[in-house]
Amino acid sequence: MNRAKPNKHIHLNAAENIIQAVGFSNQIGFPLNRFLTISWEHTQAVGRVHDVQGQFLERYMKWIRYYRSTGAYIWSIEQGRVWGCHSHFLIHVPPKLFRSFKKIAPNWIDGDVDQSGPAKTFDIQKINSGYGLAQLNPLKGVTRYLLKAANDEAAEILSIRQEPQKAGIVVGKRVGTSQNIGRGARAKCSESKGASI
């Protein structure tokens, strides 16, 4: 039986995949413009975090398809002191759906959604775009934050400030992307561009 192993770090290959996915999503017209955090510990959700998180993302994709749009996201799982076991997401939401997303997203969370105390269940923030050459700067900052568990090699090469103690130990995969901005989609896009030159 293949069991997921506990790990403290995000390795270079995984970190590069996340960074490239963020840039690619912007290139294909699905900028990651919402930063969402969900505490699975505070919701008291039952099951593996990867499964509960997967259900949330499935609901997001179904919702965005209903509006004839395309979803895109990256995710990072952490184990911290404030949020407990939680996920961070960078998500694409079309501007016309901003209000609707903020209202409906809590309904996709399994468990108890409690926003009353200091330890909130979820948080949604807008990611503002910069201007000109600095257009992606705000997004770069959030992406580096999501990669704070980077190992020494990834941190040095990608200029990431390491804070592994804040990211904790996670069993299984720490970071990932939606399929449409992942490695396969990027490779396919690159091949089609090469064929048309």
Whether 18 has a pLDDT exceeding 70, the answer reads yes
Q: What is the pLDDT of residue 5?
A: 82
> Over the stretch 149-187, which tens digit does the pLDDT of each residue have?
999 999 999 999 998 888 999 999 999 999 999 999 999
pTM of the model: 0.90
Q: Which is nearest to 122 in space by CA: 46, 53, 187? A: 53
- Which residues, other chains included, contact 189 with Cβ-Cβ below 8 Å and sequence gap of 6+? 24, 28
C-alpha span between 20 and 24 (Å, rounded): 6
For residue 100, give the 3-state DSSP assignment: helix
Taking each helix axis from N to C end, the angle separating 183-196 and 12-27, rounded to the nearest 10 degrees, works out to 60
Q: Can you give the residue ranges of every domain in the chain?
A: 6-196
Q: Give the pLDDT confidence of 57-84 residue by residue, as tens digits.
A: 999 999 999 999 999 999 999 998 888 8
Query: Residue 193 — very low, low, confident or very high, per pLDDT cuts 50/70/90?
Result: low
Please report, rounded to a whole number, the percentage of residues in the chain having pLDDT higher than 70. 92
What phi, psi does 174 have (nearest 5°)? Answer: -95, -35
